[in-house]
Amino acid sequence: MSGPSWRERLLGGFKKTSDRLVGNLAGLGAGRLDDATLDEIEEALIASDLGPATAARIRARLADEQVERGMEELGIRLVVAEEIEKVLAKVAKPLITDKARPQVMLVIGVNGSGKTTTIAKLAAILKDQGLKVMVAAGDTFRAAAIGQLRTWAERIGVPIVAGAEGGDAAGLAHEALKRAEAEGIDLLIVDTAGRLQNKRELMDELAKIRRVLGRIDPEAPHDVLLVLDATTGQNALNQIAVFKEVAGVTGMVMTKLDGTARGGVLVAAAEQYGLPIHAIGVGEKVDDLRGFDPNEVARIIAGVAAFNRG
Ligand SMILES: Nc1nc2c(ncn2[C@@H]2O[C@H](COP(=O)(O)OP(=O)(O)OP(=O)(O)O)[C@@H](O)[C@H]2O)c(=O)[nH]1
């Protein structure tokens, strides 16, 4: 084995986030934690994209603990880590892949969020675990999206169902599920178009795909996975609201947590929506997508990964 470990990648991936949070908190704990200082801490946490609710809770906890003089910066960060962990622990849920045969997973998200790459990563990981995986190029809106998924499918060695650009996505999903059933596939992952600028069209298209799949298997799709690009910050949070409304999201994957200072948005998304977060992406390689340990990620974000608990 060569290359950095997952932990090293995780540390690298959240470095900017962590640096930003630590930078925002720098020097704030040197004096007494009076109201003005607590306000500053709360603002620093919000500036780090953690979301207002988490920031307010951390403020309240610091105030509650009757922290008198000289609360060290490190002490504050340990509290921050604990609170982040609590938020993440509620949503960090592995993807369950034994719901049905074939299990149908609809993958949604705006163009560029990392949808295709995430489908490829998931397909590769689950194939490695011994599942028979098939992908369907349901983003018929763009020829490039179809081509990109095809390239990935060939590289990973999983079957793909794809049609022509501009084809009917629901028809394609139907054909894919029929084939998946006939070929004894365990998991069918269906890509979709993510045209958020036209909410009505997107809603109609996703509803049609669901309807068509449901005709073959009333339980399908078993999962509706939303892929979010962490670098878009607040915009990613808005996307959750829209996709929840149009598609009944069952879980999320957050990508591009590497090289962005916006990793706090993972916490804000968890806090605000409480939807399961199945995996996070910290790079472009297959191995860069995984489920996560809330304690580990919280400590990395808060910049206390090197310190023991307690
Ligand atoms: N750094 C980094 N890049 C990522 C990650 N996930 C995806 N990408 C990159 O983001 C870009 C967009 O990813 P795609 O998978 O093509 O996104 P998409 O949502 O399918 O976009 P369309 O194909 O345009 O619909 C690609 O260059 C990916 O390699 C990640 O976790 N980290």
Q: What ipTM was reported for this prediction?
A: 0.91
Among 11-25, 138-152, 177-191, 225-239, the range with the most confident prediction by mean pLDDT is: 177-191
Give the pLDDT of residue 310: 43
Q: Is 148 in the pocket of ligand 1 (CB under 6 A)?
A: yes
Question: What residue segments make up the domains of the chain, in order of their start?
Answer: 6-89, 103-291
Query: Do residues 25 and 71 make contact, with C-beta atoms less than 8 angstroms apart?
Result: no
Q: Is 145 in the pocket of ligand 1 (CB under 6 A)?
A: yes
- Average pLDDT estimate for 256-270: 86
Give the pLDDT of residue 7: 80
Best CA proximity match to 145, nearest among 187, 190, 105, 180: 190
The amino acid at residue 49 is D
pLDDT digits (tens, 9 = 90+) for 234-259: 899 999 998 998 888 999 999 998 87
Give the pLDDT of residue 126: 94
Give the pLDDT of residue 308: 54
pLDDT digits (tens, 9 = 90+) for 25-76: 887 766 667 888 889 889 989 988 889 999 999 999 888 875 554 467 788 8
> Is the previous residue joined to 218 through a cis bond, with omega within 30 degrees of 0?
no
Give the pLDDT of residue 68: 52
Would the annotation count 166 as a binding residue? Answer: no
Question: Which is more confidently placed, 36 or 137?
Answer: 137
β-pairing, 187-191 with 103-108?
parallel
Q: Does the pLDDT value for residue 277 go beyond 70?
A: yes
Q: Is 288 in the pocket of ligand 1 (CB under 6 A)?
A: yes
pLDDT digits (tens, 9 = 90+) for 199-213: 788 888 899 999 999
**CA–CA distance, 17 with 131 (Å, rounded to integer):** 35
> Which residue's CA is minimally distant from atom 10 of ligand 1?
114
Lowest model confidence (mean pLDDT) among 28-37, 196-205, 265-274, 283-292:
28-37
Do you know the residue count of the chain? 310
Would the annotation count 111 as a binding residue? Answer: yes
Largest Cα separation within the chain, whole Å, is 69
β-pairing, 251-255 with 103-108?
unpaired
CATH code assigned to 103-291: 3.40.50.300
Q: Does the pLDDT value for residue 134 go beyond 60?
A: yes
Give the pLDDT of residue 74: 83
State in Å: Cα 173 to ligand 1 middle: 22
Which mutation among 148, 228, 284 tests ligand 1's pocket best, with the greatest number of atoms within 8 A of CB? 284
Would the annotation count 138 as a binding residue? Answer: no
Helix, strand, or coil here: 251? strand
Instruction: Decide if domain 6-89 falls under CATH 1.10.645.10.
Output: no
pTM of the model: 0.91
User: 296: how many CB neighbours lie within 10 A of its CB?
Assistant: 17
